[in-house]
Amino acid sequence: MIITISNQASSEERAQLMSLLCRITASRMPLATTHISEREVIALDNTVLDAQSQQLLLQQPAVTELLPMKTSYQLVSRSFQPADTRILIGTGHACTSITVGGPSASPVIIAGPCAVESREQLLTTAHAVKAAGANILRGGAFKPRTSPYQFQGLGVEGLKLLAEAREQTGLPIVTEVMETEMVDTVAEYSDILQIGARNVQNYALLRAAGKHSAKRPVLLKRGLASTVEEWLLAAEYIVAAGNPNVILCERGIRSYDPQTRNVLDLTCVPLIQELTHLPILVDPSHATGRRELVPAMSRASIAAGAQGLIIETHCDPSTALCDGRQSITPEQLARIVVETRALSHLMQGSELVQVA
């Protein structure tokens, strides 16, 4: 059930509604509201509200309407909000803000090293990717590693270096958060919270990313073996918890062929755009695991309709502490920026993207 809240409700009327809802749903915590599709809503399992409760709710001055949920994911579905979600990145910090999602002349390019390794490495790379045309800087301060003995990132020290890089370059930053306890800290430093493939069904983390007070946009990667439906339901967790600003990111799915790290499922790009209003980016670096394949798959991603790319870039890939095999140089990035902007321009100009 989607409960739409009146934007003319007084704070008293809102409090009364919340109190009623806690009673009806036996919840001890206030329920989250989300501003989505120019409405403020609360989403609840259809089965929670019996006819009498629905009657009670409709009598509340703070309630505009009740809509039954029709699909497993509701708030993120294209049928709930037909128009593309547009997400403004970089507000609240001194940097050049940029919009992700919606019709736009240029794909968003996120670039930077897999991990923040040192001040020099990060700042050099940050300036270089900015010069190459990137719009947002990426870099891991907390690294999810398959082995407990691999380099786990610089932690808060890494966050501070990212903030310094933003200050120097004006690029907004995105970095991964792996623990609920760290959501507020990462949100303090970063412009986008990244939730990685391994945490796509870490529901506590998804909820925390939805509820945190700064409401930073969330970049939600697809899980290693997520179906599209599971992935959209993960996004629904974040949105239902109060944060409508979710950016999806395809990064390859597990497969049987050892020739590439994963299989990049580009078909999910037009499919996602049919099913949801959220923007979708592609990460060709993790998808392929080999830098030689990154330029072609960057072009293909944009041609498939992706609204941007996230590309691992390192000034000296051979010395990278993490994923050097898939990192490109800033020079290679510059070529990709030129190519993908030309492709995007062509598709806009000739209305190619409207064809599908």
Instruction: Give the integer Cα–Cα distance in Å for 239 and 36.
Output: 8
Question: Considering only 14-22, 159-167, 294-302, 307-315, which stretch makes contact with a copy of itself by CB under 8 A?
Answer: 294-302
Chain position carrying tokens 């736009």? 104
CB of 95 to a copy of itself, least distance (A): 29
Instruction: Give the integer Cα–Cα distance in Å for 102 and 84.
Output: 5
Number of residues that bind a copy of itself (CB under 8 A): 84
Between 214 and 300, whose beta carbon lies closer to a copy of itself?
300
Looking at residues 102 to 121 of the shown chain, list those that interact with a copy of itself (rule: CB under 8 A): none
Paired strand residues for 282: 250, 309
**Of 35, 93, 119, 299, the one binding a copy of itself by CB under 8 A:** 299
Looking at residues 8 to 67 of the shown chain, list those that interact with a copy of itself (rule: CB under 8 A): 43-46
CB of 228 to a copy of itself, least distance (A): 5
Looking at residues 134 to 153 of the shown chain, list those that interact with a copy of itself (rule: CB under 8 A): 144-151
Helices 203-211, 228-240: crossing angle, 10 deg rounding: 40
Question: Considering only 68-76, 104-112, 159-167, 168-176, which stretch makes contact with a copy of itself by CB under 8 A?
Answer: 68-76
Instruction: Give the integer Cα–Cα distance in Å for 43 and 70.
Output: 12
Looking at residues 208 to 237 of the shown chain, list those that interact with a copy of itself (rule: CB under 8 A): 223-225, 227-230, 233, 236-237
Question: Considering only 126-134, 174-182, 183-191, 307-315, which stretch makes contact with a copy of itself by CB under 8 A?
Answer: 174-182
Q: 134, 107 in Cβ contact below 8 A?
A: no
CB of 33 to a copy of itself, least distance (A): 14
Looking at residues 252 to 291 of the shown chain, list those that interact with a copy of itself (rule: CB under 8 A): 253-260, 263-271, 274, 287-288
Instruction: Give the integer Cα–Cα distance in Å for 300 and 282.
Output: 10
**Of 16, 185, 201, 329, the one binding a copy of itself by CB under 8 A:** 201
Q: 331, 347 in Cβ contact below 8 A?
A: no
Looking at residues 316 to 345 of the shown chain, list those that interact with a copy of itself (rule: CB under 8 A): 332, 335-336, 338-339, 342-343
Instruction: Give the integer Cα–Cα distance in Å for 105 and 342.
Output: 10
DSSP 8-state assignment for residue 313:
B
Instruction: Give the integer Cα–Cα distance in Å for 291 and 297.
Output: 10
CB of 96 to a copy of itself, least distance (A): 27
Task: Select from 110, 139, 124 the least CA-distant residue to 298.
Answer: 110
